[in-house]
Amino acid sequence: EEDEGGEVLEAWERAYADERSWESLQEDESGLLRPVDTKTLVHAQYRRRLLAAARIQKGLIRYLYIVIDLSRAASEMDYRPSRMAVVAKHAEAFIREFFDQNPLSHVGLVTIKDGIAHRLTEIGGSPESQIKALMGKLECSGDSSLQNALDLVHGYLDQVPSYGHKEVLILYSALNTFDPGDITETIAKCKKSKIRCSVIGLAAEIFICKHLCEETGGSYTVALDESHFKELLLEHAPPPPAIAEYAAANLIKMGFPQRGAEELISICSCHKKIKSGAGYICPRCKVNVCELPTECRTCGLTLVSSPHLARSYHHLFPVPPFDEVTPVNRIQRGGQICFSCQQSLYNPDGQSNLHVRCPKCNQHFCLDCDIYIHESLHNCPGCESQR
């Protein structure tokens, strides 16, 4: 293996994508080791996620608070270099993925340290401001208090409009919680306010966390390693199924503001500061706001842009899962190449590789294009070309 300068690297100097690759070793019919087919493994994990997502009603406007445990337990080094560093790295990726999947939703950050819950950021629709605030407050100390975090989050989410789906995602490193009162009363209060609480543990299963998730309709999982933690975290990015009693349909009045002129000088209603240009003008009360989506601080109108609304369309009408075509089957006429990237679906031996076929247009696609179509493009090229 060579680095960018062309120098040959020693084995201990190389960077491996999977540091536990020996667990994925495969054998052929004669018992000899064969190269690990990472593409097939990644595609198998993706297929499990895709088939698990049924056509069910989902909440498209989400108000999510991410609660990050920064107690002394987060400084443990069982995750390299520490639990805190791993959580911060993957929380950044999750926030970006969350806004990509949920353009109409909002996120806020809460940290727990020294037995106190502190709201790091207000709930909003800008990923950059959330990530910047998180990276500037990465210090571990004291104990963790789950009740204080739930009380703080409940106070803010209780003011969310009825059409918004209220969620809490807790990244918990500690094995205990130091609470000032009865935490079961706080859990009952969250359940009454229809707040869905989910927990991802980094140490071991804790009864109170499991009880919290069961009562509020969330999910409780414990990460085995860093890659498993990343997988569990990203599972919370797509909109979850709407709970039956929470899923009342509502008509929401929205405004589509125009972008202000670059030379316009006005007071931003979000931060109460004088700014020049690069803002949006509320169509109802004509005040200036910095970012979308948001709610106007003056008249309360929900402000979005048309691209945000259009990007939520694929959650309502997703691309159906493609059917797998095994190498044993013959490729249908005209299916020798991937319809999307035009790469050959044959290997050098003349045998067809594992690929998929759209059930509607019957076009064939390679595994990489299958993932790209369902997770990024959200449109079948074969079906779109027939219109």
Does residue 277 share a domain with residue 151? no
182-186, 192-196, 278-282: least confident range: 278-282
Does residue 260 share a domain with residue 329? no
Does residue 118 share a domain with residue 216? yes
Does residue 235 share a domain with residue 344? no
The reply to whether 180 falls in a domain is yes
Peptide bond into 81 cis (omega under 30): yes
Does residue 270 share a domain with residue 190? no
The reply to whether 46 falls in a domain is no
Does residue 294 share a domain with residue 196? no
Does residue 235 share a domain with residue 153? yes
Select from 145, 341, 169 the least CA-distant residue to 240: 169
- Report pLDDT digits (tens) over 316-366: 778 888 888 876 544 444 457 899 999 888 876 666 678 889 999 999 998
The reply to whether 140 falls in a domain is yes
Select from 203, 189, 192, 109 the least CA-distant residue to 150: 189
Which residues span the domain enclosing 343?
318-385
Q: What is the CATH number of the domain that holds 74?
A: 3.40.50.410
Q: What is the pTM of this model?
A: 0.77
- Report pLDDT digits (tens) over 216-268: 999 999 999 998 999 999 989 988 877 666 656 677 888 998 887 766 677 77
The pLDDT score that the predictor gives to residue 31 is: 76
The reply to whether 264 falls in a domain is yes
Does residue 163 share a domain with residue 71? yes
Q: How confident is the model at residue 187 (pLDDT cuts 50, 70, 90)?
A: very high
The reply to whether 197 falls in a domain is yes
Does residue 258 share a domain with residue 236? no
What span, in angstroms and rounded, lies between the C-alpha atoms of 98 and 96?
Answer: 5
Select from 67, 147, 50 the least CA-distant residue to 107: 67
Tally of domains in the chain: 3
The reply to whether 52 falls in a domain is no
The reply to whether 17 falls in a domain is no
- Report pLDDT digits (tens) over 132-154: 999 888 889 999 999 999 999 99
When comparing pLDDT for 108 and 162, which is higher? 108
